[in-house]
Amino acid sequence: MSLCRLYQRAPRSWLRRTCLVRWTDGVLNFVGSDGSRYLSSLPPGHQMNVFDRNAKTRHRTLAAQDEEADVYDYLKSEVGYRLADRVYDIKRKFARAVELGCGRGYVSHHLDTEAVESLVLCDSSQECLTQCKVPKDVPTTKLLVDEEFLPFAENSVDIFLSSLSLHWVNNLPSTFKQVWNVLKQDGAFLGCVFGGETLYQLRGSLQLAETEREGGFGAHISPFVQPTDLAALLNQAGFVLLTIDSDEMTINYPTAFHLMTDLKGMAENNATWKRKSHLHRDSMVAAAAIY
**DSSP secondary structure string for all residues of 248-267:** ------SSHHHHHHHHHHTT
State the pLDDT confidence band at 242, using cuts at 50, 70 and 90. Answer: low
Q: What is the DSSP letter of 92?
A: S
Q: In order of start, what are the domains of the chain with their CATH numbers? A: 12-199+222-253 (3.40.50.150)
Ranked by mean pLDDT, the top range of 16-25, 49-58, 194-203 is 49-58
Segment among 35-49, 172-186, 265-279 with least mean pLDDT = 35-49
- Give yes or no for residue 5 having a pLDDT over 90: no
pLDDT digits (tens, 9 = 90+) for 25-79: 444 444 444 333 333 334 444 466 888 999 999 999 999 999 999 999 999 999 9
Q: Are 172 and 150 in contact (CB under 8 A)?
A: no
- The amino acid sitting at 59 is H
pLDDT digits (tens, 9 = 90+) for 160-173: 999 999 899 998 88
Q: Starting at the earlier edge strand, list the strands of the sheet with 94-100.
A: 140-144, 116-123, 94-100, 157-163, 183-193, 28-33, 17-24, 239-247
- Rounded to 5 degrees, φ, ψ at 70 are -60, -30
In the prediction, which pLDDT does 43 show?
Answer: 45
The whole-model pTM stands at 0.79
Q: Cβ contacts of residue 270 below 8 Å, gap of 6+?
A: 219, 220, 221, 222
- Give yes or no for residue 83 having a pLDDT over 60: yes
Secondary element (H or E) of residue 31: strand 28-33
Computed over every residue of the chain, the mean pLDDT equals: 80
Report the C-alpha gap between 263 and 207 in whole angstroms: 18
